[in-house]
Structure 1
Amino acid sequence: MCGIAGIIGKNKIPDRNIFNNMISSLKKRGPDYQGIYYDKNLIIGHRRLSIIDLSSYGNQPMLNEIENIAIAFNGEIYNYLDLKKELKNEHIWNSRTDTEVLLHAYEEYGEEVVKKIEGMFAFAIYDKNKNNIFFARDHFGKKPLYYYYDDEFFIFASELKAILLFPEIRKKIKIDENALIKFLFYGYIPSPDCILNNIKKLEPSTCFVFDISKWQIKNKYNYWNIEAIKEIKPGAETQVLENIKILIKDGVKKRLMSDVPLGVFLSGGVDSTVVTSFSKLFIDKLQTFTVAYKNSPEADESKYAKRVAEKLGVKYNLYYFEDETVNENFLNILNYLDEPIADAAVIPLYYIAKFAKNKITVALSGDGGDEIFGGYAKYIAQKKIEDFKYLFYILRFLKLFFNKTNSYYKLLDSVNLPFAVRQFIFGSGSFLVPEVLCLLKRDRLNIKEIFNDAEKYSSYFYGSNINRAIYLDCRIQLPDWYLVKADRATMAVSLEVRNPLLDRKLAEYMFSLPENFKIRNGETKYLLKKIAIDFVDRDIIYRKKSGFGVPLNKWIRKELKDIFYDYLFVKNDFFNIDYVKQIYNEHMSGKKDNRFKLLRIFNFNY
């Protein structure tokens, strides 16, 4: 895991001191080495977190033998050893890194190399002869890449903060109001948009070329299309389970390559239990790390994680997160996010990553299990609404009997919304449309424009409402919310996190299965739970899923009360302060649970 950045001037030579500040801002992503490459009006930099081949030969930017190609690479290529064997030309090898394999593979395959690699990555390859830079981001968007360009400069970086250190850019950007509205509904900002206008995020499974001579972006396309996967007739369930076990085992094994200590984040839930179970097959003295909410037993599930660890015979490291701790680094952690993300779970994730960093440099996690295997209740809700839409239309008047914060109210109120819009309003703590109108003092909103990101994906998997909903989350929610949260929280302490359940081959197989292999008779993650009980006790896996998460409700009323008060009522050109006061008072009095709405407002104002 590393950090990359670059500047290309059209007619100007970029300021080296400014660039040095930019690349230095990414030090947490790569504390081990800083490298900078210069060529004419171009500067490319890299911050290294050493994982494979810890020697100086793995430093970047890395050049090929004749020094006409340079690469800055963030991530890991899991199939790099197999890819190395496929290369036909004679190459001089200076290291054991996946970076060097990717560099030489580009020499042989050109831009098609992106179709050859498996892993998590965001990279820039400068081809001196072609006078262009080839950019690509991994299949699910685990590694970030921001970029900006105008008539004078093209700038890219792993994090937004690096781009904002370029003074000339700061003069040209402002808050993108459409992105702000998206944030109020989603709780994050879907790619390619950014909270600031004119700055973009490269979408997952996407690549493009920046032609320096013509000063334009070209050949931008999706190199991997989940929607192209056809549903199969899978045969016997026993065989399907065996297929999945083989794929998970292979996905875990690939992600264990490391020249530094490695462990697993273990929550005690289904996903992390499966990842831990398969990791134990390869690592005898496996270290696991769990967070316990000492002051909030309703949110604490560490007892299940402990039972899993004891059953599997792995080392159990417990971090006690006390409510008083949340105040210490709350603002610093939000600041590191760059863009607003309305998820307080980033706080304990940061602390457990910091705790784990004392013993490991790489952690495996269960992220992606809910999306790939069908773990959210909203998938069931989407199917029921679509299957019984006319009945729901009749029953909509029943919402009058529920509080607006109640999930049943949102369910009934969202019946008339398009499938894609409903997907991201229901179940995420989102504002409803009338509430956003009040907050922004507007008479109307162009819902179609706001949810254009979701609408363009909603026509795929049309014959299966659960697969359709899962696909939407894999395209938007997963890369722009959960994976961003994991990346920033772990990179803030220079820890690399890997996601075996987001293995490409596993995902492709799961998308080929009918929806009743994900959810059956109301049981979410139907197949993954069957696999999990091969390793641990059944009651751990089939227990009722906790609906509490982090105790944000309590934090706002107590530990974070002063901080929230200071930032919620900041006057700006966007929010109706009277409405903010209204929902704040409702929350503090206990009349309504507005924690997720207040967090959205707070994150933006901060």
Structure 2
Amino acid sequence: MCGIAGIISAKHNIEDLQEMVKLQKHRGPDHTGEYTDPGFCRLGHNRLSIIDLSAEANQPFTDNSGRYHLTFNGEIYNYIELKQQLKGHYNFKTNSDTEVLLAAYSVWGKFCLNRLNGMFSFAIWDSLEKRLFAARDRFGVKPFFYVKNDNEFYFSSEIKALNSILKHSDPNERVWANYFAYGSYGMPGDTFYQAIQQLPGGYFLEFQDGNLKLEKWYNFKNRLKAYSGTLSFKEAKQSYTEILKDSISLRFRADVPVGFNISGGVDSSLLLALVNKSQENNKIRAYTFYTGHKNYDELAWVEKMIKTTQNPLKKVKIQPINVIEKARFLSDIQDEPYAGIPTLAYAALFEAAKKEGIKVLLDGQGMDEQWAGYDYYQNSNNINIIQGLGKTSPFKLQVLNPEFQKLAKKPVYPKPFNNNLQNLQYRDLFYTKIPRALRFNDRISMAYSTELREPFLDYRLVEFAFSQPETHKIFNGIQKFLIRKILEEIAPKNLSYAPKRPLQTPQREWLAKELKTFTDDNLEKLRYSRASNWFNFKEIEKEWKNYQAGDNQSSFHIWQWINTALLMGD
């Protein structure tokens, strides 16, 4: 897990690259490296050492021929198996997955991508052809932002690094308008900045002689054809369990301590149970947060599970003062809007892990999208893509100035399947929930120089689960049915049938009470921010008064305005 940066330009400037890597140092404090091809290219790298901690594995990494130069962010979990396949074609000098990745590209070219099991964002400079090749993993776990400016090309792991090159980047008002009107965080190639784009998950790009080409390398629908055979429920449960165990085992490949984040839900309970079946549980530390608010805390469920496994548990309490102390810091880290106090609370786990010397954490992201865990998968209430809203709309269009509101266009998502359930799952996996969560989580884990691994997002698991019949996912109204049956065999039954709980913090209560002054201050900052002309502040005042008077089924709109003030207030 690292930070990558690059400048492809005849006028490249060493100071510009150095500023880019400096701004991303939190992503990799263990080593900073540079590569230069004079007159053509500069690559930068911030290293967080996880596999092969030696200096020989530092980046940018050059292959044996001296032709290819790699800057890489992420992990190739199956690097040991790939190394065996490549040994007859490449003379390895390190034990790193970095060298395996570069060897795979030098031998197989772009077709190496389909062989990789991992989370990755990388760029390879071909010093012979003067061509840049860059790619992003299937689901976009690791970020890749870029700017194309005439014949120049810049890329980085974080937006702030590119903003240092641009000096000033105007907001992408279309994306902002959709955020306020529909809760959208943009389409796969969008950012909240006009000049900055991102490479979508499952795509690669090539840049040569001023020409940029993007191409999709991961065709999810085509991949599902391999799962056309119908398995019985018992067979599906057995097959999925085997892949799941292998996925977890692969994600324990590290030369540093590994821990994991746990909530009281089915997914993290399953992760905890399987981890303890395959690893020495007395060495694996679990992290969870709580607020002391009985309507939201999952601590009782967590402690019930931990009691059966005896893992060391670090409980991190989140209080309103933490929001005041950390909100601006996380806003600067995110560069774009984030999801509120739950994101801030989750960030506290990475901060706690870092203090205790844990460099790698696992979590249970991805099960709801695979196995139809959200309520709307069976009640068709799929209007809103924001969880935990109650019955009222979180979108207050009347607070937007008419001209700005006109920029908002309701996002239209592809429907490549012949049934509503799979189309909703597809939307959430590639366009809404997973991209949003991965973006939030990458930036908060990296803020504390820790690596987050998500074993449930192994592409084999996602493809297998997605292809299963609806009755394996939802049976007699019970969602994530197959997963619950797996957990039932290895954990207390009351845990395997725990209900879905979308909200984990008392955000709606805190904003109106304990954080009222914080909210007031930020609404005032919004009035004098760069975004002030987007809003009708009389309507904002009205909504804020209504909220304090008890109209608070949704706090999403209040957080949107706070978020905007934090990002756009100078």
TM-score by length of 2: 0.93
Q: Counterpart of 2:213 in 1: which secondary structure? A: strand
Contact 2:389 2:553 in 1 (8 A): no
Contact 1:312 1:535 in 2 (8 A): no
Q: Counterpart of 1:517 in 2: which secondary structure? A: helix
- Residue 585 of structure 1 is matched in structure 2 by 545
Alpha-carbon deviations, 1:60-91, whole Å to 9, x = none? 00001231110000000011111111126543
Q: How does 1:292-303 map to 2 (within 5 A)?
A: 292-303=289-300
For residues 393 and 195 of structure 2, the distance between their equivalents in structure 1, rounded to whole angstroms, comes to: 28
Contact 1:139 1:224 in 2 (8 A): no
Q: Specify whether residues 257 and 433 from structure 1 end up closer, same or farther in structure 2 by C-alpha distance, changes over 3 A only.
A: closer
Contact 1:586 1:594 in 2 (8 A): no
Contact 1:437 1:445 in 2 (8 A): no
Alpha-carbon deviations, 1:370-400, whole Å to 9, x = none? 1111110121122xxxxxxxxxxxxxxxxxx
Could you list the runs of 4 or more consecutive aligned residues of structure 1 that deviate by over 4 angstroms after TM superposition?
425-434, 442-447
Q: Specify whether residues 162 and 175 from structure 1 end up closer, same or farther in structure 2 by C-alpha distance, changes over 3 A only.
A: same
For residues 291 and 72 of structure 2, the distance between their equivalents in structure 1, rounded to whole angstroms, comes to: 40
Alpha-carbon deviations, 1:538-570, whole Å to 9, x = none? 112213333532111122123432232222242
For residues 378 and 365 of structure 1, the distance between their equivalents in structure 2, rounded to whole angstroms, comes to: 23
For residues 139 and 430 of structure 1, the distance between their equivalents in structure 2, rounded to whole angstroms, comes to: 35
Q: What code does the residue aligned with 1:495 have?
A: T
Q: Specify whether residues 299 and 218 from structure 1 end up closer, same or farther in structure 2 by C-alpha distance, changes over 3 A only.
A: same
Sequence identity, in percent? Answer: 30
For residues 240 and 313 of structure 1, the distance between their equivalents in structure 2, rounded to whole angstroms, comes to: 30
Contact 1:137 1:144 in 2 (8 A): yes
Question: 1:247 Cα deviation (Å)?
Answer: 1.0
Q: Specify whether residues 85 and 547 from structure 1 end up closer, same or farther in structure 2 by C-alpha distance, changes over 3 A only.
A: closer
- Residue 37 of structure 2 is matched in structure 1 by 39
Q: Identify which of 193, 218, 230 aligns with 1:223.
A: 218
Contact 2:30 2:47 in 1 (8 A): yes
For residues 323 and 339 of structure 2, the distance between their equivalents in structure 1, rounded to whole angstroms, comes to: 15
Tell me, yes or no, if structure 1 residue 461 matches structure 2 residue 417. Answer: yes
Contact 1:175 1:197 in 2 (8 A): yes
Q: What code does the residue aligned with 1:325 have?
A: N
Contact 1:35 1:47 in 2 (8 A): yes
Tell me, yes or no, if structure 1 residue 605 matches structure 2 residue 561. Answer: no
Tell me, yes or no, if structure 1 residue 516 matches structure 2 residue 471. Answer: yes
For residues 124 and 273 of structure 2, the distance between their equivalents in structure 1, rounded to whole angstroms, comes to: 38
Question: 1:293 Cα deviation (Å)?
Answer: 2.4
Q: Counterpart of 2:348 in 1: which secondary structure? A: helix
Q: Specify whether residues 63 and 429 from structure 1 end up closer, same or farther in structure 2 by C-alpha distance, changes over 3 A only.
A: farther
Tell me, yes or no, if structure 1 residue 175 matches structure 2 residue 135. Answer: no
Q: Identify which of 528, 531, 537 aligns with 2:486.
A: 531
Alpha-carbon deviations, 1:437-494, whole Å to 9, x = none? 55232597477x4414x2xx2x2122x2112111110011244311111111111111
Q: Identify which of 300, 309, 313 aligns with 1:312.
A: 309
Q: How does 1:474-489 map to 2 (within 5 A)?
A: 474-489=429-444
For residues 602 and 327 of structure 1, the distance between their equivalents in structure 2, rounded to whole angstroms, comes to: 12
For residues 310 and 54 of structure 1, the distance between their equivalents in structure 2, rounded to whole angstroms, comes to: 35
Q: Counterpart of 1:108 in 2: which secondary structure? A: helix
Q: How does 1:238-387 map to 2 (within 5 A)?
A: 238-284=234-280, 285-357=282-354, 358-382=356-380
- Residue 105 of structure 2 is matched in structure 1 by 106
For residues 563 and 423 of structure 1, the distance between their equivalents in structure 2, rounded to whole angstroms, comes to: 27
Contact 2:289 2:346 in 1 (8 A): no
For residues 517 and 367 of structure 1, the distance between their equivalents in structure 2, rounded to whole angstroms, comes to: 20
Q: Identify which of 439, 449, 453 aligns with 1:498.
A: 453
Q: How does 1:531-550 map to 2 (within 5 A)?
A: 531-550=486-505
Contact 2:266 2:498 in 1 (8 A): no
For residues 443 and 48 of structure 1, the distance between their equivalents in structure 2, rounded to whole angstroms, comes to: 42
Alpha-carbon deviations, 1:282-337, whole Å to 9, x = none? 22124233334243121111121111112123222222223332222121112211
- Residue 192 of structure 1 is matched in structure 2 by 189
Cα RMSD of the aligned pairs, angstroms, is 2.2
Q: Specify whether residues 437 and 445 from structure 1 end up closer, same or farther in structure 2 by C-alpha distance, changes over 3 A only.
A: farther
For residues 433 and 251 of structure 1, the distance between their equivalents in structure 2, rounded to whole angstroms, comes to: 37
Q: Counterpart of 1:509 in 2: which secondary structure? A: helix
- Residue 390 of structure 1 is matched in structure 2 by none
Q: How does 1:204-219 map to 2 (within 5 A)?
A: 204-211=201-208, 213=209, 215-219=210-214
Contact 1:227 1:460 in 2 (8 A): no
Contact 1:207 1:221 in 2 (8 A): yes
Contact 1:206 1:222 in 2 (8 A): yes
For residues 6 and 389 of structure 2, the distance between their equivalents in structure 1, rounded to whole angstroms, comes to: 36
Q: Specify whether residues 113 and 474 from structure 1 end up closer, same or farther in structure 2 by C-alpha distance, changes over 3 A only.
A: same
Alpha-carbon deviations, 1:141-162, whole Å to 9, x = none? 1101100011153110000011
Question: 1:423 Cα deviation (Å)?
Answer: 5.6
TM-score by length of 1: 0.87
Q: Specify whether residues 444 and 264 from structure 1 end up closer, same or farther in structure 2 by C-alpha distance, changes over 3 A only.
A: closer
Q: Specify whether residues 134 and 437 from structure 1 end up closer, same or farther in structure 2 by C-alpha distance, changes over 3 A only.
A: farther
Q: Specify whether residues 430 and 29 from structure 1 end up closer, same or farther in structure 2 by C-alpha distance, changes over 3 A only.
A: farther
Q: Identify which of 558, 570, 590 aligns with 2:513.
A: 558
For residues 394 and 296 of structure 2, the distance between their equivalents in structure 1, rounded to whole angstroms, comes to: 30
Question: 1:51 Cα deviation (Å)?
Answer: 0.3
For residues 224 and 34 of structure 1, the distance between their equivalents in structure 2, rounded to whole angstroms, comes to: 35
Q: What code does the residue aligned with 1:310 have?
A: K
Alpha-carbon deviations, 1:238-264, whole Å to 9, x = none? 111111110110110111100000011
For residues 138 and 343 of structure 1, the distance between their equivalents in structure 2, rounded to whole angstroms, comes to: 26
Unpaired runs of at least 5, structure 2: none
For residues 353 and 480 of structure 1, the distance between their equivalents in structure 2, rounded to whole angstroms, comes to: 20
Q: Specify whether residues 203 and 219 from structure 1 end up closer, same or farther in structure 2 by C-alpha distance, changes over 3 A only.
A: closer
For residues 547 and 458 of structure 2, the distance between their equivalents in structure 1, rounded to whole angstroms, comes to: 41
Tell me, yes or no, if structure 1 residue 8 matches structure 2 residue 5. Answer: no
Alpha-carbon deviations, 1:98-133, whole Å to 9, x = none? 110111111111111111111000000111112111
- Residue 119 of structure 2 is matched in structure 1 by 120
Contact 1:291 1:319 in 2 (8 A): yes
For residues 548 and 363 of structure 2, the distance between their equivalents in structure 1, rounded to whole angstroms, comes to: 35
For residues 22 and 524 of structure 1, the distance between their equivalents in structure 2, rounded to whole angstroms, comes to: 45
